[in-house]
Amino acid sequence: MNDTTQTRVLGRSGIPVSALGFGCWAIGGEWFAADGRPLGWGPVDDAESVRAIRRAIDLGVTFFDTADVYGTGHSEEVLGRAVAGRRDEVLLASKWGSVFDPATRTSSGAFDVTPAHARRALTDTLRRLGTDRLDLYQFHVNDGPLDAAAELREVCEEFVAEGLIRAYGWSTDDPERARLFAAGPHCATVQVSCNVLADAPDMLTLCAELNLGAVIRGPLAMGALSGKYGPSGTATLGAGDIRARPPEWLTFFENGRVTAAWQARFDAVRSILTSGGRTPAQGALAWLWARGPHTVPIPGIRTVAQAEENAGALAFGPLTEAQMREVEALLAS
């Protein structure tokens, strides 16, 4: 096991975090787009969510990533409840940019990219989390306008100076946008979509070049890498799960199952991912850790069992260089 398996650093901030993070989208419960499409992962048991968070902390997970729009505020509230009394043991990251209505649990689909909204959103996030500071604050508009982003970078620097946040970043898959934000001295991360089925080499190269932490969303391909939703899988998706009626950007699922094309890629590398006794999910995390010392995957977790399975990946460490080459060759063929 290398020395970056248990702990990594959030880029130039120097903030140490567990190599595994905890994604808090799912614990937000059900919420919907203006047209009624689900944006959450279905109903959740808040008490189980709290238990899962606390179990993850006990297992060494320190990094928790949420967003104000997840459950239209509910995810932040549940996370805040779970870490009450343990705030100094964890690092809290959230995101802003979406316009939503907690009363109806709907997101309008619009974004507010003004500095004034960023400040209001941060105030609300801190209240819901029950804390006076965030460790990481991330702009949550993947293709946000560059001119507005330059202003937001400056307001984030103000938040740092005021002690409201320690560092900031952008959740984007565009290198140009990431580079613009990285011009700020306290920009520490980029949150990027990446997994063994759909790599992001340009973004990971940029993170290495600019000394940015790569917070990895979708590390399990929205559950496609769990092995539970393929042709032989037994799990089913409820009507309130975004994967049951996936938006255009969510390509891993169709009609509630993993698509044939993505399933074929998974099947090609499954034996490598499960080597040494790993589960498929643990192998997918191991692949990400082997992609570089700056990656911090944040798989979505909502049960104690999921927390234990994902945290169990830490003991196995990253895939070997030989395994990484084999995966690359298989997926290229």
Task: Place 175 in a pLDDT band, splitting at 50, 70 and 90.
Answer: very high
Cα Dmax for the chain: 53
Identify which has the larger pLDDT, 127 or 5. 127
CATH numbers and ranges of domains, the chain: 7-332 (3.20.20.100)
Whether 229 is catalytic is no
Mean pLDDT of 234-242: 89
Task: Place 1 in a pLDDT band, splitting at 50, 70 and 90.
Answer: very low
> Residue 60: what residue type?
G
Mean pLDDT of 201-216: 98
Q: What is the pLDDT of residue 5?
A: 60
> Residue 138: what residue type?
Q
Q: What is the pLDDT of residue 280?
A: 98
Task: Place 255 in a pLDDT band, splitting at 50, 70 and 90.
Answer: confident
Mean pLDDT of 236-245: 92
Q: What is the pLDDT of residue 167?
A: 99
How far is it, in rounded angstroms, from Cα 281 to Cα 313? 8
Whether 3 shows a pLDDT value over 50: the answer reads no
Task: Place 118 in a pLDDT band, splitting at 50, 70 and 90.
Answer: very high
Pairing of strands 253-254, 21-23: unpaired
How far is it, in rounded angstroms, from Cα 169 to Cα 271? 35
Handedness of CA 2, 284, 331, 209 (dihedral sign): negative
Q: What is the pLDDT of residue 236?
A: 86
Mean pLDDT of 109-120: 98
Helices (H), 164-276: 175-181, 201-210, 260-273
For 29-65, what is each residue's pLDDT tens digit?
999 999 999 999 999 999 999 999 999 999 999 999 9
Whether 234 shows a pLDDT value over 80: the answer reads no
| Close Cβ partners of 158 (under 8 Å, ≥ 6 residues apart) | none
DSSP of 33-98: ETTS-B-SBS---HHHHHHHHHHHHHTT--EEE--TTGGGGHHHHHHHHHHTT-GGG-EEEEEE-E
Task: Place 232 in a pLDDT band, splitting at 50, 70 and 90.
Answer: confident
Q: What is the dihedral of CA 75, 102, 155, 175, to 10 degrees?
A: 60
Q: What is the pLDDT of residue 333?
A: 80
**For the whole model, what pTM was predicted?**
0.97
| Close Cβ partners of 54 (under 8 Å, ≥ 6 residues apart) | 82, 86
Taking all residues of the chain, what is their mean pLDDT, rounded to a whole number?
96
Pairing of strands 7-9, 16-18: antiparallel
Percentage of the chain exceeding pLDDT 90? 94
Q: Which of 70, 137, 168, 229 is catalytic?
A: 70
Q: What is the pLDDT of residue 70?
A: 99
Q: What is the dihedral of CA 6, 219, 233, 59, to 10 degrees?
A: 20
Secondary structure letter of residue 275 according to DSSP? G
How far is it, in rounded angstroms, from Cα 104 to Cα 238? 20
Mean pLDDT of 5-17: 93
How far is it, in rounded angstroms, from Cα 169 to Cα 189? 5
